[in-house]
A and B are shown apart, each in its own frame.
Chain A
Amino acid sequence: MAWLEASPLSVWVRESVVGFPLTLSLHALGMAFLVGVHFALDLRVMGFAPKLPVHLITKFYPLMWVSFVVALVSGLMLLLAYPAKGLTNYVFYLKMLLIASAFMVGRSLTRTILIPESEISSRQKMLAILSIMLWVSVIVAGRFLAYTYTILLTTDYY
């Protein structure tokens, strides 16, 4: 852990003028479009904007995947900056589990809407509500990470 904290990229994210603010902003922007595109599909399946062809929302998925990569890379950089802070906090692992679950729910919902059907089933609506709840849980876990850590750094650089 100590050598990770001492690695040049870790020090750069933590201590340079632009490193941390840039990484934080990118993580927020990535989240906005990653979760936003999922929300758009979920809202449509729940009955909002009924004239919006539901399968066409998946055309925004390339944007969603790019946003995911931005959030993932910036998230890894935040983790690299303070590896002990995240890895010693069970909320971090909970967040990872919630992200995986949210993606799995999104995947099973996407698979069913690609089959042309006139009516949206109640099962699909349940999946959409579950998807929103899971993404909100991801957000809550992410926010709580900043308030529940016990170790900031294993070595003292300040």
Chain B
Amino acid sequence: MEEALLSFSQNTGIYSIMGSRWGWPIIESLHFFGLCLLIGTVGLFDLRMLGFVKAIPVSAMHRLVPVGVAGYFLNVITGTMFFTSAPDQYLYNPAFQTKLVFMAGAGINMLFFYSACFKTVKNLGANQQVSQSVKIIAGISLLCWLGVISAGRLITFYRPPAYWCFWCG
């Protein structure tokens, strides 16, 4: 697994970018930029659904979400660059594993929102409220993204040897 990820990084040239003098911090900065785009759009949309700033039409607020999706894809790309360039620092890292759990939570929650709830939300205007169940979904979304950020920030704090991860076997 480690070898496969590392050879992907080496064969695609990612490894030499990440290994260059300022490669790692530059890609990290882009990752943080993507994060702020996501929170500034999807995060604020979640807050609006939760009842903050009701004067903003829900439908209008949602028009910022595509920018957040762009931030998300920026972070999938930059995140893959970190992960494949030092797989041993991620695979056994409890902070990274926790981050993946929160990402999966956010993803499943998002799929459920767009498949089951979005039609009741997309035309709501100013001072209109989403239903209680949609509020719960918005809250789960926000908590998952906060979890992704917190756990993600801790990845570099824990630079674990493989045996740290007791559930990795």
Contacts and interface: CB of A to CB of B under 8 A. Distances in A.
B138 to A, nearest CB: 15
B166 to A, nearest CB: 17
Contact of B25 (A20, A39, A49, A147): A147
Given A40-B44, A56-B56, A32 B64 contact: no
B80 interface: no
Given A24-B154, A31-B32, A48-B64, A40 B22 contact: no
Interface string A12-44: 000000001100110111011101111110011
Given A60-B47, A60-B53, A146-B25, A44 B64 contact: yes
Interface stretch (A92-100, A115-123, A135-143): A135-143
A43 B53 contact: no
Given A31-B32, A44-B64, A139-B33, A52 B56 contact: yes
Given A21-B154, A139-B36, A36 B44 contact: yes
A111 interface: no
A144 interface: yes
Interface in B18-38: 22, 24-26, 28-29, 32-33, 35-38
Contact size range, B: 35 or more
Interface string B1-45: 000000000000000000000101110110011011111110110
Q: For chain B, what secondary structure do more than half of its interface residues adopt (helix, strand, loop), or is it mixed?
A: helix
Interface string B64-77: 10010000000000
Contact of A37 (B40, B63, B150, B153): B40
Nearest to A56: B56
Interface residues of A, number: 38
Given A56-B53, A143-B25, A43 B33 contact: no
Contact of B43 (A36, A135, A139): A36
B59 interface: yes
B101 interface: no
Interface in B133-147: 146
Interface of A: 20-21, 24-25, 27-29, 31-33, 35-40, 43-44, 48-53, 56-57, 59-60, 63, 135-136, 139-140, 142-144, 146-147
26 contacts: A21-B154, A24-B154, A25-B150, A28-B32, A28-B150, A29-B149, A32-B35, A32-B39, A33-B43, A36-B37, A36-B39, A38-B40, A39-B40, A43-B41, A43-B67, A51-B63, A52-B64, A53-B56, A53-B57, A59-B52, A59-B55, A60-B44, A140-B25, A144-B22, A147-B24, A147-B25
Given A36-B40, A53-B55, 5 more contacts: A29-B149, A36-B39, A56-B55, A63-B52, A135-B36
Top 7 nearest A-B pairs (CB, nearest first) are A36-B40, A49-B63, A36-B39, A39-B40, A35-B36, A25-B150, A51-B60
